[in-house]
Structure 1
């Protein structure tokens, strides 16, 4: 029997007890404790992270990572970006191994410091410099405010913190390529000499992370701080390879947000009653308008779990073209995060006013998925890069397993539209491409992702009723094209209705088997949970109506 990566019994004890009533600073600190606890429970080895073994991917598919998005952020930075990067150099720089063990066991914290205030998706043009001294040491410097490192949480929280800082190497006053350096940031209580951390305000709507703006003022680094050798210049994309890993990993994290939406939405809709025409009570789940987003969420959760398992296996195989591996990561992240955002809003809306409150989890999950959509490469810009490369014929994505499927035909049609447009312009950087190709790139990458998801789900034996509802959702998204392809609007509606009717009898079992119920803390899911929550709300004293209603009539009359 496989031992689960996280013991759900831990949710009933610190640090996982509700902390919504605490100040943001304390909540941010608790998220570090949660990340540490999740890491200890998961028990990953360095090899799991370095070689992208199944246990590494399964951690990201565990629902605990959506219980606290801040803890998930901290854990994925530390394990994937920091440890994953260090692992690539450890065989030739064995002095890194003790540090890696400290990071693995959370005796130290690690941050990945690539982007700057002035350089996000164009981080290859970053301005931070590391100048080689005659002694072999380096001087790390932030040359301008726009070169400050942006987002990584570097403020002291009680545990010593290091950062992998990407800087442009300077030798003999000549700028060279970008290199990563291991830099001590703080000792757990104070920032290290020359390192300045300025806390950003809270993002809002999420579990708080101490996002920061960090700068370096002539910080002296030992020769051993450099990862790699002075002579070895790696291509930038290879240097930041773990960002592509993170793109796929974060996409898979979002699968359970779909499961959470389905679970909270269903339980609330079965509990919430309205009065029918005969004076009796019926649950709002009786209505098709309430059923639709929950049926979609359930189908998406199952189909995208199959996609996650297939894509992580494909990505981890070094025999595949690295460009195709990164392309799969981009497409998977695009479809899962965009579907999660739309579904969380749809289900939240069907929970009425209750869906607006952070305590009911849906609005918080939406905000945290928004962050994931930007982290490790903004979906839109990454999609533009991928689609452009594919339309120019520079490489190919994995081919369809079921080329006659509707979703494979949809993908093929968009590709043909883009290649025809490209053939009609002078070159791929023309204004015509800017106006007519770039706005369609995301739709093309999503079409690839939808087809990959369909193929993965069918190959994995996902319940056909779930797959059919998933397909119905994709048809909804581009109804005009499917009409042009011969599926009339009436046929689309009939197909959708049939899919809903077939899936509905299984919904309770399917939602239960998603396995996210232990992570549901929303009080709206049951009468018992709501009663306990409502009893715990702070009661105000009686209003002093006389002070509220007593006007100074003479003053009021004078003003009128």
Structure 2
């Protein structure tokens, strides 16, 4: 598995070291231990000239910029196929560049992941690359296809699956690809308006395009289910014969050329069929498949949707971090009148202002940890645990993107009218996150699938106590009555978080068991509300577990360095900063856990897992943690390692933001202006 993407020497790949050891440690928590190789290239590209913020521009100009940036990135890659083959690199691209240009990452994610990735993952049913061609060349060419135009971005790739009448139920798409024995190829047709492909970026804008088209494979009239077909769509000016492309109305917050696309007898050769375990067409014109289940065939064909979910999570995490960094900075720069006699104070000094932002910091760290856990699970999956890894990716995508929307909305509001202006970047983040929530599977739909699976899965195991967080003897905490437990004990909080998931799963199973038998829809409707709450709780539990692992790791790291520092006679280096990274992360972990427990305190109290006194203590404990963390907000957002060049493009990120609105002809400059009211 490829773990990094080589970029051209023209693109620097520096890391993100800071002067504060706590900040550096927290950056490693968020991004892993190999920042320079995994994230450095994309961070550098985010700060480079082509990605600097451009104000204004028509929708058409912004769309052109997105495709220009696609080619800029492609030119910087030593091997575009390596990027398409590496979910970790694709996620990092979205994590860093998604906040900069959501339209760009839309076209880039489609081109590299859904289009090129699908071609690389599947075979051709054509004659192959010819005698003497080695297996490496076959893989690089997409199983026998020539991918050179796509790898050089001379042709842009797109993905046509969703139809007007078929979204998440892709197994029901109605576009057909009928095998033509005389010409040894396939004829694509759109049978009615509802089967038009919905929202692919298929216009000629951005250059010639090809797509992988989901269509029903018909052989001698027999329907074998939905497969993908490589299909040329446009030249540089217009759609190709038989292809009809119509632009959809402008989508909220997007400059991408979303279109309706249909086919009228479009012929493609036999090598257009993306074959594999899902099935292939033999030289004798006979269809064969290892899978009798048509739904399974489809899932194998569109397997690139799962890495796409990881990319959506990454884009959401990066966007939430960016919004939070802007809001915290602006809160420190925006001065307001303080209490009588105290002069002006930063608006961030007020609990009503910094409270929601500190809570958002705890959430964003959790989002980052869960995203990286899902990414690691997908990359290290085996045949035995692929289904579990895929479920975690889906759960993380829904949970992370929903939390990102909450964070971005809160940050926008904390920035007032400044947060609504295009030049400050938040309005674009608000619009972009809505597309992310819907892309690669609507959140409710993918969480519903995960919920159905969790209902029949074993209950979560009791949470292990954090090695660094609890001083109780092994087993003692679990045996103590709730009244004897304290909210300051992270092990107790972890157990409560696991209890929330178990409670909702139990309720879902109970409701299902009492629904009318033989009516599958009624049974699911009875259980779905509680089951979806269980999926949410599952995400919180997994994120809380990763928080615990990260805290233990920092505690051990700081202890080891303290010992080394003591042994280094004469060393003047500060081994552990005044604000210990482990302490800060533990406080974030507790705040994250307590806010979730507070939301579910009624269920936990009714089930005997919380004592009555705990309910009263929850709000006070949360308040104390917010007060403690508020002073360290700059350190915590510093761990996001955002390039200063990117932040400098957003006026509210700097103390001189008001200067953005200065009027060179204003009377305050000592001149009389031009005398025309409202001019300039």
TM-score by length of 1: 0.89
Name 1:265's counterpart in structure 2: 327
2:336 partner SS: strand
Taking the TM superposition and a 5 Å limit, the aligned residue runs for 1:103-252 are 103-135=150-182, 136-204=184-252, 206-228=253-275, 229-230=280-281, 231-233=287-289, 235-252=297-314
Distance (whole Å) between structure 2 residues aligned to residue 116 and residue 540 of structure 1: 57
Mean CA deviation greater in 236-245 or 532-541: 532-541
Match of 2:106 among 57, 73, 79: 73
For residues 309-348 of structure 1, the C-alpha deviation after alignment (integer angstroms, 9 at most, x for no partner) is 2211111223142321221011101211111111111121
Match of 1:298 among 346, 356, 361: 361
Taking the TM superposition and a 5 Å limit, the aligned residue runs for 1:312-391 are 312-319=375-382, 320-391=384-455
Name 2:577's counterpart in structure 1: none
State yes or no: 1:469 paired with 2:594: no
Shift of 1:474: 2.0
Name 1:55's counterpart in structure 2: 89
Name 2:6's counterpart in structure 1: none
Distance (whole Å) between structure 1 residues aligned to residue 586 and residue 122 of structure 2: 46
Distance (whole Å) between structure 1 residues aligned to residue 338 and residue 418 of structure 2: 22
Judging changes above 3 Å, is the alpha-carbon distance between structure 1 residues 17 and 478 closer, same or farther for their aligned structure 2 residues?
same
State yes or no: 1:489 paired with 2:615: yes
Name 1:555's counterpart in structure 2: none
Shift of 1:67: 0.7
Mean CA deviation greater in 70-79 or 18-27: 18-27
Cα contact 2:164–2:197 (8 A) shared by 1: yes
Mean CA deviation greater in 377-386 or 471-480: 471-480
State yes or no: 1:438 paired with 2:486: no
For residues 279-338 of structure 1, the C-alpha deviation after alignment (integer angstroms, 9 at most, x for no partner) is 410111111111122112222222222222221111122314232122101110121111
1:516 partner SS: coil
Judging changes above 3 Å, is the alpha-carbon distance between structure 1 residues 202 and 390 closer, same or farther for their aligned structure 2 residues?
same
2:42 partner SS: coil
1:453 partner SS: helix
1:257 partner SS: helix
Name 2:64's counterpart in structure 1: 29
State yes or no: 1:64 paired with 2:97: yes
Shift of 1:273: 1.5
Judging changes above 3 Å, is the alpha-carbon distance between structure 1 residues 20 and 194 closer, same or farther for their aligned structure 2 residues?
farther
2:236 partner SS: coil
Match of 1:13 among 39, 49, 66: 49
1:389 partner SS: helix
Cα contact 2:243–2:262 (8 A) shared by 1: yes
Distance (whole Å) between structure 2 residues aligned to residue 201 and residue 357 of structure 1: 23
2:632 partner SS: helix
Distance (whole Å) between structure 1 residues aligned to residue 89 and residue 239 of structure 2: 35
Structure 1 unaligned spans of 5+: 546-560
Judging changes above 3 Å, is the alpha-carbon distance between structure 1 residues 70 and 243 closer, same or farther for their aligned structure 2 residues?
same
Distance (whole Å) between structure 2 residues aligned to residue 143 and residue 303 of structure 1: 46
Cα contact 1:324–1:397 (8 A) shared by 2: no
1:333 partner SS: helix
Name 2:554's counterpart in structure 1: none
Distance (whole Å) between structure 2 residues aligned to residue 535 and residue 68 of structure 1: 29
TM-score by length of 2: 0.74
Shift of 1:277: 2.8
1:241 partner SS: coil
Name 1:556's counterpart in structure 2: none
Match of 1:515 among 628, 636, 641: 641
Distance (whole Å) between structure 1 residues aligned to residue 89 and residue 461 of structure 2: 24
Name 1:274's counterpart in structure 2: 336
Distance (whole Å) between structure 2 residues aligned to residue 133 and residue 398 of structure 1: 55
2:656 partner SS: helix
Distance (whole Å) between structure 2 residues aligned to residue 351 and residue 313 of structure 1: 35
Shift of 1:56: 3.8
Shift of 1:110: 0.6
Cα contact 1:130–1:140 (8 A) shared by 2: yes
Name 1:409's counterpart in structure 2: 499
Distance (whole Å) between structure 2 residues aligned to residue 148 and residue 314 of structure 1: 36
Cα contact 1:324–1:396 (8 A) shared by 2: no
Shift of 1:362: 2.1
Name 2:468's counterpart in structure 1: none
State yes or no: 1:502 paired with 2:502: no
1:217 partner SS: strand
Shift of 1:430: 4.9
Shift of 1:358: 3.0
| RMSD of aligned residue pairs (Cα, Å) | 2.9
Judging changes above 3 Å, is the alpha-carbon distance between structure 1 residues 491 and 82 closer, same or farther for their aligned structure 2 residues?
same
Judging changes above 3 Å, is the alpha-carbon distance between structure 1 residues 354 and 225 closer, same or farther for their aligned structure 2 residues?
same
Cα contact 1:315–1:329 (8 A) shared by 2: yes
Distance (whole Å) between structure 2 residues aligned to residue 5 and residue 309 of structure 1: 18
Judging changes above 3 Å, is the alpha-carbon distance between structure 1 residues 340 and 473 closer, same or farther for their aligned structure 2 residues?
farther
Cα contact 1:258–1:300 (8 A) shared by 2: no
Cα contact 1:274–1:284 (8 A) shared by 2: yes
Judging changes above 3 Å, is the alpha-carbon distance between structure 1 residues 396 and 410 closer, same or farther for their aligned structure 2 residues?
closer
Cα contact 2:455–2:531 (8 A) shared by 1: no
For residues 81-128 of structure 1, the C-alpha deviation after alignment (integer angstroms, 9 at most, x for no partner) is 112211122487546366434333322211111110010011111110
Name 1:478's counterpart in structure 2: 600
Distance (whole Å) between structure 2 residues aligned to residue 39 and residue 137 of structure 1: 32
1:298 partner SS: helix
